[in-house]
Structure 1
Amino acid sequence: MIKQPPSIFNDVIGPIMRGPSSSHTGAAVRIGSLVRQMIKGRIKEVLVEFEPQGSLATTYHGQGSDIGFVGGLLGYELWDDELNDSLKEAVERGVLIQFRIADFEASHPNTYRISTLDDQNERISLMAISVGGGMIEVQMINELSVNIAGDFFETVLFFEPIHAELLNNHKAVIEQTVSSIEYIEDSIINNRGLINIKTYHKLLENDILKLYELPNISSIIQLEPVLPIQSKKHCLVPFSNAQEMLDVGTKQSLAPWELAVLYESVRGSLSQEEVFEKMSNIAKLMCNAIEQGLKGTVFKDRILGPQAWMVDKANREAKLIPTGVLNRITSYITAIMEVKSSMGVIVAAPTAGSCGGLPGTIIGTAKEMSKSVEDITKAMLAAGIIGVFIANRSGFAAEVSGCQVECGASSGMAAAGLVQLMGGTVQQSIDSASMALQNILGMVCDPVAGRVEVPCLGKNVMAGFNAVACANMIIAGFDKVIPLDETLIAMDQVGRMLPIELRCTGYGGLSTTETSQNIYNRLNKLD
């Protein structure tokens, strides 16, 4: 299957969620949801295993992979209030769920090896990965290869016994009898096989009954999408990198936000009005998170207490260095991060670990300048399209490329959004993003005590300040030197050069300090 182009609302701005990490909590909910759809009976037992060298072995509890997975398994959405109590709810429902560290071959640091048992004694095994920013991929079901990202309706047919020729014949029959197939894939091993049908709409019951007539079919699984934007075959987006966007913008005289709307309307099969409304609703959620954080949040299981209010208090008392908008940005970013750490509803932008930098900077600046929600929405769209280019090149997983693709990415996106907020050009938005990203290459991910709080808060604030400086420098006429497309190549290369100890594993940097270990031990006593 051809790789789908990134979507602003799938890959970049979102998910709307609760929890400390989109890679850990958000993705886990989506994986759990798909597992739930695979199980036909009542769930009795589930075993989730993580390999010891990956990120999840040391962080799955502190960053909420356990509560996220179980929440999805029980049918909760990423934003549901009940998510934080999912482990307790599973016990009350009589579901035995175990998390274990085990040696197995994994292709990605965020790999889940899952096995389930239902009350009909049917077993399912699968392998799934979290690829960053809440995006996922199921790679294997019952040892058979698949490629399920949650962006299609999936109908998976299992056959046993089967040989390659018969499986190919079945595939040809299905292509002739089932209409509107986007993609169809197959896999076979040891006389067992599957055919995976990807469609834009759920197959009707009549279609399923016909599929059950195929010789040697053993079972069928139907899965609904878990992403907000579905995919389609032959999705030809208007551009896929910064230079192409600049060419389109120049030719059609479009502003940065208009180019983002154009892109996402094609990618998501939405009207341009729907794209704008969707981002407007997201902007309002971000504003709500700031308001909630500034009022103060309460949550026992975290490192940092409420601190966002301190900035305004100290500023009123004339204790702070007079930095104007930067003090407001500091308080807004902190407010969002505190809502995240208290299991409130936030928007990953592009990840939950970097959820404060982009909205705190854009909304803080907009508030300082008395800008409207419409202006904020346009700035977020301009930021989102820069995120598309980052997603296309490296993705947003600190486990793969360090914090430079989380807080660093948010800084580049925020710089472009600020240029839009100031009425700048497409060239300026691209150049400001490039300059901001150049400044953060090599940023490591070393969370204290395995929590997404320290030094994550400071990195979010630094991302915001960097964005303001770079936006102003470019608007003033400074030279970015390296074009954005080249900067993104360098960022991807640098990220993959980082040692595994500095990629969200807890094995290096601040994670291994004595204080970090003491905090880890203290927090674990709370559980």
Structure 2
Amino acid sequence: MIKQSVSIFNDVIGPVMRGPSSSHVAAAARIGILARQMVKGNLKKVIVEFDPKGSLATTYHGHGSDMGLVGGLLGFETQDSRLPKWESISKEKGLNIEFNIVDYKAAHPNTYKMMLISDKDEKVNVVAISTGGGMIKYESIENFNVSICGDFYETLVFVENKEDVKKLIDYIERKNIKIDYFEKSKNGNNILLDIKTSYKLEKDIINSIEKQYNVITIEPVLPIKSRKECKVPFNTADSMFEVSKKSNLKLWELALLYESIRGNISKEEVYNKMKEIVLLMKSSIEEGLKGTKYENRILGSQSHMIEKSEKEGKLIKSDVLNSMIECITSMMEVKSSMGVIVAAPTAGSCGGLPGTIIGATKALGLTIDDATKAMLAAGIVGVFIAEHATFAAEVGGCQVECGAGSCMAAAGLVELNGGTVKQGIDASSMALQNVMGMVCDPVADRVEVPCLGKNIMAGSNALACANMALAGFDKVVPLDETIKAMYSVGHMLPSELRCTGCGGLSLTETSKRIYKEIN
């Protein structure tokens, strides 16, 4: 299996999206967008199966997996304003979607097993998973093992024997087609060839192959494409620190170095892309502070109460913390009202990191460029979590979502205050140590309570740990070891406490009552 290095913009800061959950809505939309490309006709029916022991069987509607998947099948991107109207639009388009709970012993809690049926009587069976934070992987197409993550152009060629394989290889060499990877998978006597490229193959080449074989072409869905033999400068906090000592680069500059190499783009492009994201985050927060309206949700608009109460002298004086609480709450309200947000690192934790950095920037009178550098610093710390753990609460509990966001925000706050690389790493480790074992137990199958409080906790924890690191406190356990421990703890948590709605606050009488009221 090909494993590409983590990208800040693929795996950590993003996607730009609507909806309550990146693992559910954004990932499902990307799974749907890729699935739509696997038939040449128009999709007329899709049968979706979820395993009863996974997380999707109980949460796919409340967390928006159905909205994201059908939206993707209709061709909607993750931030498309039409996503909330998926049911009516799919009916208008004549697309019949069937969701079933079937015990097929899925290995991953976020598994989508689907049959795609087109108006040309094409039938394609696929298995895909949501791996966390909007990232995905197709594991099976027509019972052939595959590894498709949406970061390459894929040309899938179905052949019948080894002679066909040889003919195709000869054709590729004769045409001097530059490929990144060439993967083979067997199903009985039949063979699937997956030609992975970082560019789109010319139409005449595809047409020539299609004359002899059944071919599926898939275009990527991730913002940063992958390529062969991409070697990043570091992939752990320790190795990054060694680079920093030799280069004298700051934490945000190390992020520029890493992502420019990973994405094969200039450092200026990396910086400008992050600045655009920060401006979008700021815009979302400002929109939320104006007040949001939405149906079928638990919490109303509350973010404006902080400034009002502060002016009235009702709050404990803490300009930075109160500004962070206001911004975190605002971002969460925009998320719940189907507004545009950035999953950073996930949609369920979309308030903690952005609200902390932008709230602190606002309170301290700093600039968008300061916030951009802080977000880059946070992003590079997130790379280590994505590389060596996960952002999926279904796998590791809320410690890998709000906890990870707190870890990243601590590094961002240290950068915002002019701290060193070591202080940023140490603050991150302390913040992550403080949330070890945090469970994911949303009330009434909505990503609102206790999610809002956990996002605010993420910010306050980040602030405390940033100050501790800046003061010279000893983190004791290095960040790399803390990430490893967190991942291990996540696997020890029972499935009931990992975003299934089957434990914790999810099972309280209040949660059950609210669920009945809003469903």
Instruction: Give the TM-score band, short-chain normalised.
Output: over 0.9
Partner of 2:243: 248
Q: Which amino acid in structure 2 is aligned with residue 194 of structure 1?
A: L
Identical aligned residues as a percent: 59
SS at match of 2:282: helix
SS at match of 1:38: coil
Q: Which amino acid in structure 2 is aligned with residue 211 of structure 1?
A: I
Q: Which amino acid in structure 2 is aligned with residue 185 of structure 1?
A: E
Contact 1:11 1:391 in 2 (8 A): yes
Deviation at 1:328, TM superposition (A): 1.2
Contact 1:167 1:193 in 2 (8 A): no
Residues 52-91 of structure 1 mapped to structure 2, 5 A cutoff: 52-91=52-91
Partner of 1:374: 369
Contact 2:2 2:147 in 1 (8 A): no
Residues 102-501 of structure 1 mapped to structure 2, 5 A cutoff: 102-159=102-159, 162-163=160-161, 165-166=162-163, 168-170=165-167, 172-173=169-170, 175-177=172-174, 179-212=177-210, 214=212, 217=213, 219-501=214-496
SS at match of 1:318: coil
Deviation at 1:105, TM superposition (A): 2.5
Superposed CA deviations along residues 341-397 of structure 1, whole A, max 9, x for unmatched, are: 000000000000000000101111111111000000000000000000000111200
Q: Which moved more, 1:460-469 or 1:480-489?
A: 480-489
Deviation at 1:192, TM superposition (A): 2.5
Picking from 501, 506, 509, the partner of 1:511 is 506
Runs of 4+ in 1 over 3 A off after TM superposition: 165-168
Q: 1: distance between equivalents of 2:54 and 2:300? A: 29
Structure 1 374/54 Cα, relative in aligned 2: closer, same or farther at 3 Å? same
Q: 1: distance between equivalents of 2:166 and 2:47? A: 36
Contact 1:22 1:352 in 2 (8 A): yes
Structure 1, unmatched stretches of 5+, are none
Superposed CA deviations along residues 192-225 of structure 1, whole A, max 9, x for unmatched, are: 32101000111112211332355xx2x1111111
Q: Which amino acid in structure 2 is aligned with residue 166 of structure 1?
A: E
Superposed CA deviations along residues 25-74 of structure 1, whole A, max 9, x for unmatched, are: 00011000001111211111111111111111111111111111111111
Q: 2: distance between equivalents of 1:435 and 1:344? A: 33
SS at match of 1:443: coil
Partner of 1:47: 47
Partner of 1:15: 15
Superposed CA deviations along residues 143-193 of structure 1, whole A, max 9, x for unmatched, are: 11110000000001112xx24x33553464355245211011111112332
RMSD of equivalent CA atoms: 1.1
Q: Which amino acid in structure 2 is aligned with residue 196 of structure 1?
A: D
Q: 2: distance between equivalents of 1:157 and 1:301? A: 45
SS at match of 1:181: coil
SS at match of 1:137: strand
Q: 1: distance between equivalents of 2:225 and 2:329? A: 33
Contact 2:113 2:126 in 1 (8 A): yes
SS at match of 2:335: helix
Q: 2: distance between equivalents of 1:380 and 1:245? A: 17
Q: 1: distance between equivalents of 2:210 and 2:153? A: 18
Structure 1 171/434 Cα, relative in aligned 2: closer, same or farther at 3 Å? farther
Q: Which amino acid in structure 2 is aligned with residue 72 of structure 1?
A: G
Structure 2, unmatched stretches of 5+, are none
SS at match of 1:261: helix
Q: 2: distance between equivalents of 1:338 and 1:490? A: 32
Q: 2: distance between equivalents of 1:427 and 1:496? A: 29
Deviation at 1:313, TM superposition (A): 1.3
Superposed CA deviations along residues 282-321 of structure 1, whole A, max 9, x for unmatched, are: 0000001110111110010211111111111111111112
Q: 2: distance between equivalents of 1:120 and 1:135? A: 30
Q: 2: distance between equivalents of 1:367 and 1:256? A: 21
Contact 1:30 1:226 in 2 (8 A): yes
Contact 2:320 2:364 in 1 (8 A): no
Deviation at 1:465, TM superposition (A): 0.2
Superposed CA deviations along residues 406-449 of structure 1, whole A, max 9, x for unmatched, are: 00000010000001000111111101000100100100111111
Deviation at 1:498, TM superposition (A): 0.6
SS at match of 1:129: strand
Q: 2: distance between equivalents of 1:151 and 1:170? A: 27
Q: 1: distance between equivalents of 2:164 and 2:474? A: 58
Partner of 2:93: 93
SS at match of 2:230: coil
Deviation at 1:274, TM superposition (A): 0.2
Superposed CA deviations along residues 450-496 of structure 1, whole A, max 9, x for unmatched, are: 11101000000000000000000110111111111111111111111
Superposed CA deviations along residues 235-291 of structure 1, whole A, max 9, x for unmatched, are: 000111001111111101100000000000000011000000000000000001110
Deviation at 1:2, TM superposition (A): 3.0
